[in-house]
């Protein structure tokens, strides 16, 4: 049900489906994703339910645009959602599921490669978020307590991403270290190999 509410939240100003799609790729993408092909029918549904009204307008560039506006009913629905409990508990981590079952590959090196790939993905993501944070701090200053209302809330959401992804990178490092400790007895195998080599040399003496 959240996409509905996100669209309502985005529609403090009237906007088209296309505009909303852009809003997703700019800000909202940090905590939610949606394609235009999902946004258009959702807007239509919200209008049918009386949450939105729309009018068609000519566009300065390109085809006619359908501009949606929040109705009183829609605003009430949005506020109800915001006043409700935090919507927790539906998070799903596909990559954790992979890791959980990865012993089936019977090769810890594959797990290591997996964790390395994951770490590099997370690192890139974290860098993005930090860049956004840097921009915000550059324009609004270092103390979010002094930001405007919207800015404060947006910054808080951003900070969660930074905390959360940062902790996941730390977890990758911890896990990689454990894998390497696990792999360490391979040094013994290496040592055994050197012993072999030594024996071969020995009988030449």
Contact with DNA (CB under 7 A): which of 13, 37, 104, 148?
A: 37
109 binds, among a copy of itself, DNA, none (CB under 5 to 8 A by kind): none
Beta bridge partners of 106: none
Sign of CA dihedral 136, 138, 143, 145: negative
Q: Does 3 bind DNA (CB under 7 A)?
A: yes
> Taking a C-beta distance cutoff of 8 angstroms, is the pair 157, 111 a contact?
no
Of 12, 38, 113, 164, the one binding DNA (CB under 7 A) is: 38
Interface stretch with DNA, choices 13-21, 96-104, 117-125, 188-196 (CB under 7 A)? 13-21
Q: How far is the CB of 46 from DNA (least distance, A)?
A: 9
Q: Strand, helix or coil at 51?
A: coil
CB 165 within 8 A of CB 125: yes
**142 is a contact residue toward a copy of itself (CB under 8 A):** no
Report the partner that residue 16 touches, choosing among DNA, a copy of itself, none (CB closer than 5 to 8 A by kind).
DNA
Residues sharing a CB contact under 8 Å with residue 78, sequence separation 6 or more, in sequence order: 5, 8, 9, 70
81 binds DNA (CB under 7 A): no
- Between CA 130 and CA 124 the distance in angstroms is 10
Q: Bridge-partner residues for 52, per DSSP?
A: 70
If the CB atoms of residues 7 and 118 are measured against DNA, the closer one turns out to be 7
For position 99 contacting a copy of itself by CB under 8 A, the verdict is yes
* Token pair 């307590």 in the structure block, residue: 145
Choosing from 23, 65, 158, 168, the residue that interacts with DNA (CB under 7 A) is: 65
Question: Minimum distance from CB of 196 to a copy of itself (Å)?
Answer: 26
Q: Where are the beta strands (DSSP E) in the chain?
A: 15-16, 52-57, 65-70
The answer to the question of residue 119 lying near DNA (CB under 7 A) is: no
Number of helices (H), then strands (E), in the chain:
8, 3
- Contacts of DNA in 40-59 (CB under 7 A): 40-45, 59
Binding residue (CB under 8 A) for a copy of itself from 153, 186, 189, 191 = 153
């Amino acid at each position: 049900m959240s996409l509905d509410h996100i669209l309502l939240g985005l529609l403090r100003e009237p906007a088209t489906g296309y505009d909303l799609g852009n809003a997703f790729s700019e800000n909202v993408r940090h905590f939610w994703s949606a394609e235009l092909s999902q946004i258009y029918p959702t807007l239509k549904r919200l209008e049918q339910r009386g949450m939105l009204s729309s009018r068609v307008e000519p566009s300065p560039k390109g085809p006619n645009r359908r501009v949606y506006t929040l109705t009183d009913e829609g605003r009430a629905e949005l506020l109800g959602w915001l006043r409700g409990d935090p919507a927790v508990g539906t998070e799903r981590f596909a990559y954790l599921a992979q890791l959980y079952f990865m012993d089936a590959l019977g090769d810890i090196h594959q797990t290591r490669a997996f964790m390395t790939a994951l770490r590099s993905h997370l690192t890139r993501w974290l860098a993005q978020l930090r860049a956004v944070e840097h921009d915000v701090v550059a324009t609004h200053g270092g103390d979010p307590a002094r930001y405007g209302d919207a800015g404060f809330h947006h910054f808080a959401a951003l900070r969660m991403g930074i905390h959360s992804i940062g902790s996941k990178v730390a977890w990758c490092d911890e896990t990689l270290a454990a894998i390497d400790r696990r792999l360490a007895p391979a040094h013994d195998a290496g040592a055994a190999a050197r012993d072999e080599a030594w024996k071969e040399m020995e009988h030449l003496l």
